[in-house]
Amino acid sequence: MTTFDTTLTPADLKSDISRLFLRKRLMNFALPAAVLAYLAYVFVAFDMPGLWERASLDNAKTLVSDSYSYKTHVTRDNRSGEVSVAIEGERKGAYPDGMSPDWVALGETTVIDLEDGHTVTFGPETIAYEIPGYGNVRATPGRSAGVQAELPAGDVPEWISVSKNRLAVTTEAGRLTVTRNRAEVFRYFAGWELFFFTLDSPYYGMGAGELVQRAATGEAGAIFQEFWTNKMWRHRDVAWAIAETLLMAFLGTIGAGIIALPLAFLATRNFMPLRSIRFAMRRVFDFVRGVDSLIWTVVLARAFGPGPLTGALAILVTDTGTFGKIFSEALENVDQKQIEGVASTGAKPVQRYRFGVIPQITPVLLSQLLYFLESNTRSATIIGAITGGGIGLLLTQAIITQKDWEEVAYYITLIILMVMLMDWFSGWLRRRLIKGEGSNAKRKPRRAEGEAFLLP
């Protein structure tokens, strides 16, 4: 109960209260002001104004458009007159000789239908682009004369660029580039090209119905084989990479738990009477935790080389420190009565630990292991990108090429799905294994002592 000092006059009380209010009011302004001042400092320190100049909008545009669409290149070698069709201009996506998509009619004069009335014709000498609403753009590449372009009368619009040796037309329907050596047409399509089967596969272009029918008549293995060994998307390698990442997280987390549990006993007041060992063990945990996982990764990568084992060991070492700390805290909070009870039945020390201690800390132990299993799936992706293993490696490789953004989008989707799945799985397992958490988790989630306080 608060008691009021009756000797205080109302004036004193009022001045006290107004001082309190003033302080509160000042705090209310000072705190946001400090945060704003800090953000302003960061704004300058990170050179945000210069960011706009460094940012490349073109890169952003390619990134976005490439991640959900692809282009097919129709290329004419102007010296030999040969025409080739390839998806993304890659060898892996090239149409075999004489085969072409139905919007390209190969022949003496190749006619490329870009739809909406846009047509490009590769003639024996001249390349023509019929643009509805503008007219016919013609270009004649020659060895000596460069590219001779004929445009309809009037100003050259900005989507056409003409120079002595080059003509480039960019329209909604596609893009035509003519240089002395070759003429190239890009046509854009939505979606991920050749995701299921590459062009050389017998199943390319088949509908889902026909595939199911064929699978039913005994071709399921072959169909899966074609899909699995897809050269463009490398489904097998991607599946392996995901498995490697999960393996890193699993081995690292569980291994750390197995190593940390016995060590944690050495760091507790109630199980380790020797102060020096206790102190040393705690400092070991602090050291291992303090040396960042980045440093462990770098050091271990030197010894073990790139691969999933290095990643697993990096996670293992870092988490041993964290688990050691959490487990030893849990062990210090253990109820002695149960141990005494077990001891009174004549149990040997091992049995005392097994039946008196372990059952008490199992909930903390399991829930921490499962929490970390989920967060380590994310760490394993990051560590994989540094040491070279798992889906992290594939992702960095795809980003470094700076053109396979559809693959980047694919990997990102897979990573997000993988992490969310692990999140759901570890939550489900936690609820199953630790009874009581699922039933009343609706409104008030119960937390074990110290839980979530070291969560990444």
Give the count of residues interacting with another protein (CB under 8 A).
Answer: 71
Rounded to a whole number of angstroms, the minimum distance from the CB of residue 406 to another protein is 13
| Nearest-angstrom CA–CA distance, 27 and 23 | 6
416 binds another protein (CB under 8 A): yes
Rounded to a whole number of angstroms, the minimum distance from the CB of residue 419 to another protein is 4
SS3 243: helix
For another protein, the closer of residues 59 and 336 by Cβ is 59
Could you tell me which of 250, 252, 287 has the C-alpha nearest to residue 267? 287
Q: Residue 186 is which amino acid?
A: F
Ranges within 73-92 binding another protein (CB under 8 A): none
| Nearest-angstrom CA–CA distance, 206 and 191 | 16
Which residue's entry shows tokens 């854009």? Answer: 188
Rounded to a whole number of angstroms, the minimum distance from the CB of residue 187 to another protein is 25
Tell me the CB-side half-sphere exposure of residue 189, using CA atoms within 13 A: 13
For another protein, the closer of residues 101 and 450 by Cβ is 450
Q: Residue 370 is which amino acid?
A: L
239 binds another protein (CB under 8 A): no
Rounded to a whole number of angstroms, the minimum distance from the CB of residue 381 to another protein is 5
Neighbour-count burial for 389-418, b at 16+ CB within 10 Å, e otherwise: bbbbbbbeebeeeeebbbbbbbbeebbeeb
Neighbour-count burial for 339-375, b at 16+ CB within 10 Å, e otherwise: beebbeeebeeeebeebbbeebbebbbbbbbbbbbbb
Contact 78, 180 (CB under 8 A): yes
Pick one of 423, 427, 429, 431: the residue that binds another protein (CB under 8 A): 423
40 binds another protein (CB under 8 A): no
Ranges within 437-456 binding another protein (CB under 8 A): 443-445, 452-456
Pick one of 48, 145, 212, 358: the residue that binds another protein (CB under 8 A): 48
Rounded to a whole number of angstroms, the minimum distance from the CB of residue 5 to another protein is 21
Q: Residue 285 is which amino acid?
A: F
Ranges within 256-285 binding another protein (CB under 8 A): none
At residue 240's C-alpha, the angle toward residues 382 and 63, to 5°, is 55
For another protein, the closer of residues 249 and 264 by Cβ is 249
Dihedral over Cα of 285, 291, 297, 299: its sign: negative
Q: Name all contacts of 273-277 with Cβ < 8 Å and 24+ positions apart.
A: none
The number of helix segments (H) and strand segments (E) in the chain equals: 14, 12
Pick one of 1, 39, 216, 350: the residue that binds another protein (CB under 8 A): 39
247 binds another protein (CB under 8 A): yes
146 binds another protein (CB under 8 A): no
Q: Which of these ranges, 8-16, 86-94, 111-119, 249-257, lies near another protein under the rule CB under 8 A?
A: 249-257
Ranges within 89-108 binding another protein (CB under 8 A): none
402 binds another protein (CB under 8 A): yes
Rounded to a whole number of angstroms, the minimum distance from the CB of residue 386 to another protein is 6
Ranges within 285-314 binding another protein (CB under 8 A): 286, 289-295, 298-300, 302-310, 312
Listed in sequence order, the residues at least 6 apart from 312 whose beta carbon sits closer than 8 Å to its beta carbon are: 247, 248, 251, 252, 255
Q: Which of these ranges, 219-227, 347-355, 374-382, 428-436, lies near another protein under the rule CB under 8 A?
A: 374-382
| Nearest-angstrom CA–CA distance, 93 and 105 | 18
**H or E element at residue 35:** helix 10-45
219 binds another protein (CB under 8 A): no
| Nearest-angstrom CA–CA distance, 456 and 444 | 22
Six token digits for residue 324: 């050691």
Please state the length of the chain.
456
Rounded to a whole number of angstroms, the minimum distance from the CB of residue 174 to another protein is 25
Rounded to a whole number of angstroms, the minimum distance from the CB of residue 384 to another protein is 9
Pick one of 66, 244, 404, 406: the residue that binds another protein (CB under 8 A): 244
Ranges within 16-35 binding another protein (CB under 8 A): 35
Rounded to a whole number of angstroms, the minimum distance from the CB of residue 36 to another protein is 10
63 binds another protein (CB under 8 A): yes
For another protein, the closer of residues 128 and 313 by Cβ is 313
For another protein, the closer of residues 222 and 409 by Cβ is 409
Rounded to a whole number of angstroms, the minimum distance from the CB of residue 306 to another protein is 5
Q: Which of these ranges, 19-27, 156-164, 192-200, 246-254, lies near another protein under the rule CB under 8 A?
A: 246-254
Contact 261, 396 (CB under 8 A): no
For another protein, the closer of residues 266 and 299 by Cβ is 299
At residue 210's C-alpha, the angle toward residues 205 and 213, to 5°, is 145
213 binds another protein (CB under 8 A): no
| Nearest-angstrom CA–CA distance, 372 and 254 | 9
